[in-house]
Amino acid sequence: MVQDKKQAILKGVLKLVNRVGFYHISMKMVAAEAGVAAGTIYLYFKGKEELINELYTMIVSEFNESVLDAYDQDSPIKEVYRAMMSRAVLFYLNNKDYFSFIEQYTYAPFLFKENQEQNFMLLLPLYKMMRAGKKQKMIKNLPDAVLLSMVHGPMNTMLKMHFARKTDLTKATVQNKFYNACWEAIAAHN
Amino acid sequence: MVQDKKQAILKGVLKLVNRVGFYHISMKMVAAEAGVAAGTIYLYFKGKEELINELYTMIVSEFNESVLDAYDQDSPIKEVYRAMMSRAVLFYLNNKDYFSFIEQYTYAPFLFKENQEQNFMLLLPLYKMMRAGKKQKMIKNLPDAVLLSMVHGPMNTMLKMHFARKTDLTKATVQNKFYNACWEAIAAHN
DNA sequence: TAAAAATGAATGAACGTTCATTTTTTGAAA
DNA sequence: TTTCAAAAAATGAACGTTCATTCATTTTTA
Interface touch A146/B120, C-beta < 8 Å: no
What pLDDT shows up at residue B127? 83
Residues A34 and A95 in one domain: no
Lowest mean pLDDT among B2-16, B34-48, B159-173: B159-173
What pLDDT shows up at residue B139? 97
pLDDT band at B3 (very low <50, low <70, confident <90, very high): low
What pLDDT shows up at residue B167? 79
Residues A21 and A83 in one domain: no
Query: Any idea of the CA torsion for B171, B122, A149, B187, to the nearest 10 degrees?
Result: -90
CA of A41 to C1' of D7 (A): 20
Q: What is the tally of structural domains in chain B? A: 1
- What are the pLDDT digits (tens) for A89-99? 999 999 999 99
Strand C at less than 7 A from CB of A27: yes
User: Which candidate from A140, A145, A161 shows the least CB-CB separation from B149?
Assistant: A161
* pLDDT exceeds 90 at position B2: no
- What are the pLDDT digits (tens) for A100-128? 999 988 887 665 445 666 666 777 788 88
User: Which candidate from B120, B153, B173 shows the least CB-CB separation from A153?
Assistant: B153
What pLDDT shows up at residue B111? 57
**Residue-averaged pLDDT of chain B:** 89
Interface touch B107/A108, C-beta < 8 Å: no
**Domain containing B171 — which CATH number?**
1.10.357.10
Closest Cα partner for B177 from A179, A126, A130, A185? A185
Closest Cα partner for B103 from B68, B152, B39, B34? B152
Percent of chain A with pLDDT over 90: 62
Amino acid letter, A82: R
The answer to whether residue B30 is domain-embedded is no
What pLDDT shows up at residue A5? 95
Q: Scan residues 87-146 of B and list those with Cβ closer than 8 Å to A.
A: 103-104, 107-109, 112, 116, 119-120, 140, 142-146
The answer to whether residue A138 is domain-embedded is yes
Residues A18 and A66 in one domain: no
Q: Which nucleotides of C are covered by protein (CB under 7 A)?
A: 5-10, 14-20, 26
The answer to whether residue B108 is domain-embedded is yes
Residues A76 and A38 in one domain: no
What pLDDT shows up at residue B142? 92
Q: Does A39 touch chain B (CB under 8 A)?
A: no
Strand D at less than 7 A from CB of B26: yes
Strand D near-CB residues (< 7 Å), B 65-94? none
- What are the pLDDT digits (tens) for A52-61? 999 999 998 8
Sign of CA dihedral A41, A46, A51, A57: negative
A43 or B105, greater pLDDT: A43
Residues of chain B neighbouring A103 (CB-CB closer than 8 A): 107
Residues A129 and A171 in one domain: yes
Residues A39 and A68 in one domain: no
Q: For residue A187, what are the β-bridge partners?
A: A139
Q: In angstroms, rounded to a whole number, what is the distance separating the alpha carbons of residues A183 and A34?
A: 43
* pLDDT exceeds 90 at position A183: yes
The answer to whether residue B20 is domain-embedded is no
Q: Three-state DSSP class for A166?
A: coil
pLDDT band at B116 (very low <50, low <70, confident <90, very high): low
State the residue range of the domain holding A153.
57-186
What pLDDT shows up at residue A92? 95
Interface touch A145/B153, C-beta < 8 Å: no
